[in-house]
Structure 1
Amino acid sequence: MKLYQDDKRFFAGDSDNPEAYIHFEKFGDDKLIVDHTYVGESMRGQGAGKQLVEAVVNYAREENKKIVAHCPYTRDVLTNNEEYHDVFIGIHNS
């Protein structure tokens, strides 16, 4: 899956109507809040969601930021994979 990035998302497909995306907000100087992950029907069952989470993890590492997960899917992936614990600091309570 080819991923693209803009200032608040990693996505697959057209930027105006992506087939899959993960949305994040920068919070302070050192955090990213991931608040939504979407995978369209045509991409489900292909690991697209995990690839999106991995893209955010790699971005956080490159930018020396930690991830706060508001999105339940992202939170589950980060919680259940020890290799992501270096950037995962918990959940966001609204």
Structure 2
Amino acid sequence: MSTKIEKEDNGKKGRFVIYEDDKEAGEMTFTWAGEEKFIIDHTGVDEAYGGKGYAKQLVLAGIDFARKNDLKIIPLCPYAKKTIDRDPSLQDVLA
């Protein structure tokens, strides 16, 4: 079993998609809020892939992207907000 995360972005909205063995297992969608921030709108994993930690991996991928590009995150998605709120080491990316 192999997993990978890919980012799609059209300049207004985008998503991080996690694939398991080349099948889409879940996604985290975002919307740009200006040039230096993005809003995490939604995180969801297909039921067939639940319990594997994929949603957290998607949130962490978004945080990694924000850090590498000096961006801030507004987590409107309840799952992303909870994940960041629980871990002080992730809170440097909050807008």
Q: TM-score, length-normalised on structure 2?
A: 0.84
Aligned twin of 2:77: 71
Question: Corresponding residue for 1:92?
Answer: none
Following TM superposition, where does structure 1 have runs of at least 4 consecutive aligned residues deviating by more than 4 angstroms?
none
Q: How many residues are paired up?
A: 87
**What's the counterpart of residue 44 of structure 1?**
50
Within the candidate set 57, 81, 92, 1:86 is matched to 92
Alignment of 1:50-69 (within 5 A): 50-69=56-75
For 2:7 and 2:73, the matched residues in 1 are separated by 17
Code of the residue aligned with 1:5 in structure 2: it is K
Aligned counterparts of 2:38 and 2:67: Cα–Cα separation in 1 = 11
2:31 to 13, 25, 33: 25
- Tell me the distance in 1 between the aligned counterparts of 2:89 and 2:49: 25
Structure 1 stretches lacking a partner, 5+ long: 90-94
| Alignment deviations for residues 32-59 of structure 1 (CA, whole Å, 9 cap, x no partner) | 1000001011211000010000000000
Q: Give the distance between the partners of 2:57 and 2:18, measured in 1 at CA.
A: 10
Over the residues paired in the alignment, what is the CA RMSD in angstroms? 1.6
CA distance in 2, matches of 1:19, 1:51: 12
Residue 19 of structure 1, CA deviation? 2.0
1:17-74, CA deviations, whole angstroms, 9 ceiling, x for partnerless residues?
A: 8320000111112111000001011211000010000000000111111100110000
> With structure 1 as the length reference, what TM-score do the two structures score?
0.85
